[in-house]
Structure 1
Amino acid sequence: MVLALVLMFILVMMSGCPGPARKPGQQEPDRPDVVPGPEELKQEEPVISLYDKDTGKTTRIKMEKYIQGVVAAEMDPTWPVEALAAQAILARTFTLKKIEEGGVKKRNADASTDEEEFQAYAPEKINDRVQRAVERTRGLVVTYKGKYINGWFHADGGGRTAASALEGLAYKKEPTPYIKSVKDPGFAITAPENKSWTVQFPLNMVRNIIREKIGQDPGVIRTARIIKKGPSGRAMTIRLGNATVSGPALRIALGKDKMRSTLIERLEIRGNNLVIHGRGYGHGVGMSQWGARALAEKGKNAQEIINYFFKGVEIKKVWK
């Protein structure tokens, strides 16, 4: 009997004493939503090579310092810190994904200050808000099933973001299931020129641009109409004369600052001009910057802002 009791005592000690069970759905105590924690990290903050379009030189810079310059360029640095912080997380994610894919190969650099090649960069605009935003999100990135997402953002979604990267960007390189269409809360506070805009282009110029930049000859353009719209209302396919072009391709060809979005309300031929009426500013995919500002002003933090605009993603810390 004594021997049996001794054996039972030894088995209990070997198995350990379980702590109090957590209720279903309850998080572990002191474990934030952002994982893994700093104690689990082995990667050091990267030092990247940055090509300067103004000087033509490539220099080395710490990642977090670089992200400060990107955030200051890509978003108004006077906006709420949490909006800037969301921008910082996406900028860091974008940078790491692009470096993983080979960086800016023609510059033999990880990144470039030319926004046509990489991201905008304006270190002269860095202020205390930007510094705080980057510091409080240090090392944070957005992933989907363990891989960096395409950290897309745009100025204003025109009331609703695009339902897919295909709709807003004609992007087909890889699946992007984390993109979703949501109401853009920034439309209520956005600049007037984003609420409604009209632009016109001479038809001869449109024909030449389509021929040179898209590779089709529409001929003499007498008709213009939208052939296909996406779920959020964006023009995915447009017919101009004899040419059928994607909405995103036409926007890039005509100029992204002129044709402000593909959220077109009316497309018409008026005299010798192509006239486009629309709303919003940008491709509409991912995070709306005006939407981020609106959410931040309502008390949402950077993680909540990102989770509002992206579906099924995880925010991870990849260095201390």
Structure 2
Amino acid sequence: MKQRVHWVLPVLLGVVLIAGGCSLFKGPQQKPAPSQPAPQRQAVQGNEPDISVYMHETGEKKTMKMEDYIAGVVAGEMKNDWPIEALATQAILARTFTVQAIETKGGVPSRGTQASTDVKEFQAYNAKEVNDNVKKAVEMTRGMIITYQGKPINSWFHSSAGGITATAKEGLDYKEAEPPYIQSVQSPDDLAPADIKNWTATFSKKEIMDALAKQGHKVNSLDSLEISQKGPSGRATVFLINKTVQVSGPEFRIGLGVSKLKSLLLDKVEFNGDNVIFTGKGYGHGVGVSQWGANKMAQEGKTAADIIGYYFKGVTIEKRWQ
């Protein structure tokens, strides 16, 4: 369950956090709209394509069928015993990401291939975890991608939204105009593990100062840390260090480690001696599909089209090959 990131400094809602610690105001909660399945249409452009893949583990380049590659991605990004419709959702997301990357930048030009198994530069991949569930999910969505006005979308996803998804600008520091298909919606993430639903992360002042220095924000002491701006979902978008140094929320999270500072949907930040304690919910940037939300919706009988239509507004699921 990996996330990809982009940086910019958005200017959104203001909320100040005193150095001694205080509870943060909640962002405006949006009532979930009725789940409308994404419409589907045939847009077949040919047969299933082959895809060239850089195998990160061995350094070799392989050519395989697109659907075989997608199966490995689904198994790498989601547990293979999850509901079929959740796995089908992940298959459509993975296929969309791959097609969009190939169409817009040729895949992974630095590797001379169309894809890579290195999650840091493309998508997770684990062919060993492909089972009958994954194969079924991939086959039932064969050739399907998500489009908006005929073009593949940015098919963002994350582990858990903590109850509400983020806009692209607040969750990813997205540099371009906010995609119209991305809207902040309530997300049914209550099946997520306890340490994802609610968590605390403790960092020493030195850890934070070192992380800031690596990002070009050198400070000689950490006297205060304030959240000066928040986005529509309530996520921190700008931190203010020592009343003078501004750091974007996503940049700050990356600097401290995205597996430890699990999200920017923070309930409380407080100083405790030489440590700073963050209390929050969810895991990931919060943009697009929540995997734990997809799991819950699938268990409630929703289809992949329902799930995609809920998290991405105004999109179409197109079948590009048979």
Q: Per the shorter chain, which TM-score range?
A: 0.7 to 0.9
Cα offset, 1:311, TM superposition:
0.6
For 1:277 and 1:43, the matched residues in 2 are separated by 50
For 1:64 and 1:177, the matched residues in 2 are separated by 29
Cα offset, 1:274, TM superposition:
2.1
Bigger Rg, structure 1 or 2: 1
Structure richer in helix, relative to its length: 1
For 1:172 and 1:180, the matched residues in 2 are separated by 16
Aligned pair partner of 1:61 in 59, 64, 74: 64
Alignment match, 1:95 = 98
Alignment match, 1:24 = none
Alignment match, 1:194 = 196
Cα offset, 1:183, TM superposition:
1.1
Alignment match, 2:297 = 295
TM-score, normalising length: structure 2: 0.85
Cα offset, 1:270, TM superposition:
1.6
SS at match of 1:55: coil
The total of aligned residue pairs comes to 283
> 1:289 corresponds to which letter in structure 2?
Q
Aligned pair partner of 2:40 in 34, 43, 47: 34
For 1:33 and 1:239, the matched residues in 2 are separated by 44
CA RMSD of aligned residues (A): 1.3
Answer with 299-308 or 243-252: which moved more: 243-252
Alignment match, 2:219 = 218
Equivalent pair of 1:227/1:239 in contact (CA under 8 Å)? yes
> 1:179 corresponds to which letter in structure 2?
I
Cα offset, 1:33, TM superposition:
3.9
2:96 is the alignment partner of 1:128: no
Q: Which runs of 4+ in 1 moved over 3 A?
A: none
> 1:296 corresponds to which letter in structure 2?
A
> 1:208 corresponds to which letter in structure 2?
D
Equivalent pair of 2:253/2:263 in contact (CA under 8 Å)? yes
For 1:253 and 1:173, the matched residues in 2 are separated by 22
Cα offset, 1:151, TM superposition:
0.4
Aligned pair partner of 1:137 in 136, 141, 146: 141
Equivalent pair of 1:222/1:269 in contact (CA under 8 Å)? no
> 2:133 corresponds to which letter in structure 1?
R
Aligned pair partner of 1:311 in 306, 310, 313: 313
Equivalent pair of 1:226/1:267 in contact (CA under 8 Å)? no
2:231 is the alignment partner of 1:238: no
Equivalent pair of 2:39/2:315 in contact (CA under 8 Å)? no
SS at match of 2:175: coil
For 2:251 and 2:104, the matched residues in 1 are separated by 23
Deviation string for 1:103-134 (max 9, x for gaps)? 11221111111101001000100111100000
Answer with 41-50 or 107-116: which moved more: 41-50
SS at match of 2:45: coil
User: Which structure is richer in relative contact order (CA contacts within 8 A, separation 6 or more)?
Assistant: 2
Cα offset, 1:46, TM superposition:
1.4
Equivalent pair of 2:82/2:295 in contact (CA under 8 Å)? yes
Sequence identity (%): 48
For 1:274 and 1:171, the matched residues in 2 are separated by 27
SS at match of 1:101: helix
Deviation string for 1:59-94 (max 9, x for gaps)? 111110000000011111100000000010010000
For 2:154 and 2:271, the matched residues in 1 are separated by 36
For 1:175 and 1:230, the matched residues in 2 are separated by 13
For 1:174 and 1:147, the matched residues in 2 are separated by 16
Cα offset, 1:41, TM superposition:
2.4
SS at match of 2:218: coil
> 1:199 corresponds to which letter in structure 2?
A
Cα offset, 1:240, TM superposition:
2.3
For 2:202 and 2:89, the matched residues in 1 are separated by 35
Equivalent pair of 2:74/2:134 in contact (CA under 8 Å)? yes
SS at match of 2:238: strand
SS at match of 2:286: coil
Aligned pair partner of 2:173 in 162, 166, 170: 170
> 1:68 corresponds to which letter in structure 2?
A
Deviation string for 1:196-239 (max 9, x for gaps)? 11111121121121111x22113311111110111111000011
Aligned pair partner of 2:87 in 84, 89, 93: 84
Equivalent pair of 2:39/2:305 in contact (CA under 8 Å)? no
SS at match of 1:206: helix
Answer with 240-249 or 291-300: which moved more: 240-249
Answer with 47-56 or 167-176: which moved more: 167-176
